[in-house]
Structure 1
């Protein structure tokens, strides 16, 4: 047996010191950092997923490159904070909720000033501007991160200011690229920057070369092994024409670019999008044709003709889409991408009962695009319907909320201040097919419930199915009376809901307590302006009226304007404007202008209706409500009680039915 050489302690100590010094020097020189322990929230925590082109090489700071890059993770505990080196602007979404904007923050930034319920949560963080450096998360003692399990598929968008979302309020988050990725349920990246061209020219960076770099500036090559795209959407050519790029040069560069992208993503579908300004259309088509002729069948031209309307869908005439324009773009583009990816792609349809399940019908103005895991209703009376199999159904609720649920057209059950997994069937149903309708308490005034749909929990092996869908829809526009304020079940016992159920039609209540027709300087929300918005209390985004079409619109406004200094002339002008907006949104709908139950601004309402009819709109009617309500029909001097709303429904439903045939 060979003996090990003897080493004295005196000789071993210098060797240890040298080794330690060498380790420090390597660290200072940028050597590989030690692997973080899973769950510690540090930059190199493997439970944090970085989507997009991030520089994580330092191990202590992660820097996003290009626009629209984000990180996501799960975490346990009740709070989460993020470390910011210097002043930065970013968006944070917890548990699939809204992307909350944090402006000019630095240091340790609390993302949960209101602690969450104990359990496992999710976080998505997206940087906007400033010192965009992620330095890790701070969790509760004993808490840890958890791999969030992001979608397996990824779609990469390549473009200029349009793809970057320029001129919109939230930039990348409002862009068609972000919205398309969310709609598809895929991870998404935006390799885009304002002013960029396809072909490099003096004063214009060419993405035919810069696409292959880590950042939008500089020459460091991107490591394409970091992720693989299943689809690449290219929207380039808008800026080249202003930099003297000839058609021949553009076509040659596009053909080469498609070839080079294919080399990086051998199996991806490549989509060459016709620019919205229709520049280099023939050359783009020819480049796609050249690649197809070379044997690449996964390259496709996308004709965008007619997708957006000049003016209405743009911030600046016909250059940069507004938020509604980006939404429309995404609604047209997502099916094109999905159709090519097909069943063999990584994209999967939403699981039964989850947001995105096509068997769940969301009625009213719901935000179904900001998050693929949480849908938010706005305005009063929004609801959803679904069919389901099995014997039980539960509802996943992020935070505390009041809600009403109805199963199989049975009695309506009220759930007060519930959250978590809410059991809607404490007594199991008989086996078979069932239906569910749910609506949330209106989040307005002092009520701050968390009205967010996060999915249904069904029996093992159960599924959803599309419930019978009414063919028509009636929209009710108004104030607290249309909301159903002071009634026993708010929106559910308001005349709008009652009429919709009585006529067997879908129904929406675009109404808010205290609302006026005319936006007042003292803060009264004006529905002449807000009618076209998703959120009654926000100037953006615009509502996408292609989501549903109303067959009738009932307007009941004017009760509050008189208390906010609105003149008769202002009211009449605003009413005429609202009638025009409603007509533009719903070209075939019958519009009913109700006399307010307190008889306010009646001549002006009638005059606005006469003006619309004189202008050629024969489907507008004034509804005289004189004598409809008595003193026993009111809960105070203004608001109808339950009986009063039933009286209104008795009188108004036949008027509507006579026009729409319901």
Structure 2
């Protein structure tokens, strides 16, 4: 019998204290995953594949009280183990729909199966294999495994960290093909390499009212219905993601009642998970936004600093990312959601996750002392971080006398140590020595940026870590207080200058004003995405990669104090009309404002004077609409013929001239 914290385990006659203690402790955690030795079947043999086999891990809220059956409660619960032999079967009590992944392969759907279900119609190679079973619907009861003669289960290699997702039909993945497996919750957990649970059910509210089940109370139960309390000692969540409020409005829940319930809910979750980071997600339909924020603020004010509000504005697009008009994302929408949410969770450095920056060794990807500036992909791999757009760089402080950079493939890059000269490394790969002459012992700083990968240049711009002296470590580099983002095309990239992004006006201005700087720019880009293939930054501004529709960029990773837009030079050559341009410029201004609510936005007149009336009109419309932190910048006469390498692109001198003119304009607005 499974006991709750409020029930005493009955004393067995004739057993001494040590024997009783031993029996209690046979319910164990194997590598952090719940296993069931001693629950019901006290004498289950490790490796026999039975429900109580301690090598079988149960992720999620499973009712294991009988010892002979394990019932999956809520959605997205799964079983995991490893096994020897060439075949495996699962026992199902009655008809059930389930997904099975063997050796990390795709989840294979088994529909309406019952009895002893063969999961390996094609026998496997002899050896040790991994198994994960996820229940979709039907009689979600696990009754054990059937293995080859002489084969055994093996304790699974479990993922560090666990995320619990709390929500309604959206979190459950309703209306998608695979339900829980297609949901943002499942995708986020998989992307972060963590275990994950979905305490979610369609139609549920935060507040229990007018027939709607309230998760503010049902969350603490074993199942989505019923009153049996869940035993929170069976696992500990490292993060809890709450996405609630979409349904409450239809059940007459007032703002005051919602805020009070949310604040209490956060407090009660904290009592169960003292060390977890709690994420309160803005609902996609933007319901109870003020109240959700206020609940987070109240908990922060009460001293709980590990509660975060997640602004989802702009994450999904109406018409393309939803299954219906009721706010249910389609599979692509859930993927986008996960693309945006995973970095937010990762950045919180939650305990145990392989993406946690706390776990990274000094100088390696994930080291919190390395400051990555610009749009870097830090979630697709734990061993290689990839920069996108132009002008991305990283800075770090390090001790010792030498430093080397690990590069996967051939690349050009620039490196600067301390305040010394910038050194160019041409076509290097492997472990690159950045200090052929050893430095004085002590503390040093390093800054590296890669050659822009564009056109015929296809270098491998990937950061794989640093090699430091034995006993050396890293430390946080000095951090500028401001950040300026420059949005544009090849001119903003710095094309035709001596060092590309480094000698472009954006980089120069950032360095001059002592600010971090990013160049969200690509050669040949337009404002408007065109049918003949011009990349449109009105669309791609919100993305991690200029050349991919997903994933979206997580704007919580940095906040720009100023955004400089220089677009329109290329649109005229791709047939963009004046009306199209103005509409797209207004859209881009709205997107920038949503991403950076406090930033000052500067709309530059292109240096060739293209689409000037339309740019000015978009700025006026924004200001008339209440956005007072947008300015049009007249660049007439800034550049002369000696400042260009051709009729379009400034040379090094031209970029310095732009920086001379533009830096004071920006500084006057942001106080840099």
Structure 1 CA distance for aligned equivalents of residues 648 and 281 of structure 2:
55
Q: How far does residue 407 in structure 1 lie from its aligned partner after superposition?
A: 1.0
Q: Which residue of 1 aligns with 2:265?
A: none
SS of corresponding position for 2:669: helix
**Alignment counterpart, residue 510 of structure 2, candidates 490, 500, 503:** 500
Whether 1:568 aligns to 2:575 is no
SS in 2 for 1:415: strand
Give yes or no for the alignment of 1:381 onto 2:388. Answer: no
1:626 maps to which residue? Answer: 637
Tell me how far apart the structure 1 counterparts of residues 398 and 380 of structure 2 sit (CA, whole Å): 26
Q: Any residues of structure 2 matched to 1:57-68 within 5 Å, and which? A: 60=87
The question of whether the paired residues in 2 share the 8 Å contact of 1:481 and 1:640 is answered with: yes
Corresponding residue for 1:464?
474
Question: Structure 1's 308 and 626: CA in aligned 2 closer, same or farther, altered over 3 A?
Answer: same
Residue 443 of structure 1 aligns with which residue? 453
In structure 1, the residue matched to 2:184 is 175
Q: Residues 178-257 of structure 1: matches in 2 within 5 Å?
A: 179=188, 187-191=194-198, 195=202
In the other structure, the counterpart of 1:432 is 442
**1:417 is the counterpart of 2:422:** no
Task: Output the CA distance in 2 between the equivalents of 1:68 and 1:467.
Answer: 50
Specify the alignment match of 2:589 in structure 1. Answer: 579
The alpha-carbon distance between structure 1 residues 387 and 485, as it changes in their structure 2 partners (threshold 3 A), is same
- Contact between 1:159 and 1:196, CA under 8 Å: does it hold in 2? no
SS of 1:520's partner is coil
Please give the residue correspondences for 1:104-143 in structure 2 after superposition, counting only pairs within 5 Å.
Answer: none
Q: Which residue pairs with 2:409 in the alignment?
A: 399
Q: Distance in 2 between matches of 1:546 and 1:83?
A: 32
Matched, 1:601 2:611: yes
The number of equivalent residue pairs is: 532
Rounded Cα–Cα distance in structure 2 between residues aligned with 1:609 and 1:380 = 26
Tell me how far apart the structure 2 counterparts of residues 652 and 627 of structure 1 sit (CA, whole Å).
10
Q: Secondary structure at the match of 2:437?
A: coil
Cα distance change on mapping 1:449 and 1:307 into 2, 3 Å: same
Does structure 1 retain, via aligned residues, the 8 Å contact 2:314–2:594?
A: no
The whole-number CA distance in structure 2 between the counterparts of 1:570 and 1:643 is 34
C-alpha deviation, 1:428, in angstroms: 1.9
User: CA contact under 8 A between 1:314 and 1:320: conserved in structure 2?
Assistant: no
Aligned to 1:254: none
Q: Tell me whether 1:648 sits opposite 2:655 in the alignment.
A: no
Q: CA distance change for structure 1 residues 176 and 417 in 2, over 3 Å: closer, same or farther?
A: farther
**1-structure distance, mates of 2:629, 2:654:** 30
Structure 1 distance, partners of 2:466, 2:182, is 27
**Contact 2:417/2:444, CA 8 A, preserved across alignment:** yes
The alpha carbon displacement at 1:439 in A equals 1.3
> Structure 1 pair 438/166, CA: closer, same or farther in 2 (3 Å)?
farther
Contact 2:281–2:310 at 8 Å: present in 1 too?
no
* 1:532-585 Cα shifts (integer Å, max 9, x gaps): 222212233333333222222222111111111112232233223323333333
What's 1:552 paired with? 562
The partner residue of 1:518 within 515, 528, 536 is: 528
TM-score (norm. length: structure 1) = 0.61
Shift of the alpha carbon at 1:434?
Answer: 0.7
Q: CA shift at 1:369, angstroms?
A: 3.5
* SS of equivalent residue, structure 1 residue 434: strand
Give the CA RMSD over aligned residues: 6.2
Contact 2:413 2:425 in 1 (8 A): yes
2:493 to 471, 483, 486: 483
Q: Are the counterparts in 2 of residues 355 and 455 from structure 1 also a CA contact under 8 Å?
A: yes
Which of 355, 358, 371 is residue 365 of structure 2 equivalent to? 355
Given the superposition, is the C-alpha separation of residues 334 and 473 from structure 1 closer, same or farther in structure 2, using an over 3 Å criterion? closer
Q: 1:479: how far off?
A: 0.6
Aligned CA distance change for structure 1 residues 51 and 347 (closer, same or farther; 3 Å): farther
2:148 corresponds in structure 1 to none
Task: Give the C-alpha shift of residue 492 in structure 1.
Answer: 1.0
2:127 corresponds in structure 1 to none
Cα distance change on mapping 1:235 and 1:647 into 2, 3 Å: closer
* 3-state DSSP of counterpart to 1:501: helix
Identify if the C-alpha distance between structure 1 residues 307 and 608 changes in structure 2 by more than 3 Å, giving closer, same or farther.
closer
Aligned partners of 1:241, 1:619: CA distance in 2, in Å? 35
| TM-score for the superposition, normalised by structure 2 | 0.60
Maintained 8 Å contact 2:643/2:653? yes
SS state of the match for residue 579, structure 1?
helix
Kept in 2: contact 1:478–1:511 (CA 8 A):
yes
The answer on whether the counterparts of 1:54 and 1:62 sit within 8 Å (CA) in structure 2 is no
Checking the alignment, whether the CA contact within 8 Å between 2:410 and 2:427 is kept in structure 1 is yes
Residue 191 to residue 549, structure 1, CA distance change in 2 (3 Å): closer
User: What is the CA distance between 1:446 and its match in structure 2?
Assistant: 3.5
**More displaced 10-residue stretch of structure 1: 511-520 or 633-642:** 633-642
The runs of 5 or more residues in structure 2 that have no matched partner are 1-45, 49-54, 61-76, 111-121, 123-131, 137-155, 225-231, 252-267, 296-303
Whether the aligned pair in 1 keeps the contact of 2:525 and 2:534 (CA below 8 Å) is yes
> What CA distance in whole angstroms lies between the structure 1 residues aligned with 2:651 and 2:277?
59
Q: Verify the 8 A CA contact 1:68 1:190 in the aligned structure 2.
A: no
Q: Distance in 2 between matches of 1:551 and 1:431?
A: 37
Structure 2 matches for 1:265-304, cutoff 5 A? none
Cα distance in 1 between the residues matched to 2:662 and 2:524: 23
Distance between the aligned counterparts of 1:301 and 1:643, measured in 2?
49
Given candidates 460, 465, 486, the residue that maps to 1:455 is: 465
What is the SS of the residue equivalent to 2:560? coil
How far apart, in 2, do the equivalents of 1:564 and 1:507 lie? Answer: 29
Q: Distance in 1 between matches of 2:556 and 2:133?
A: 29
Cα offset for 1:494? 1.2
Structure 1 CA distance, aligned partners of 2:468 and 2:100?
32
Aligned pairs for 1:10-49 within 5 A: none
Q: Is the 8 A contact 2:165 2:200 kept in 1?
A: no
Shift in Å at residue 529 of structure 1?
A: 2.0
Matches within 5 A, 1:84-95: none
Task: Give the distance between the partners of 1:488 and 1:186, measured in 2 at CA.
Answer: 42
1:121 counterpart residue number? none
Shift, 1:483, TM fit: 0.7
Give CA-to-partner distance per residue, 1:189-236, whole Å, 9 cap, x none.
34578749799xxxx9x9x99x999xx9xxxxxxx9999976777879
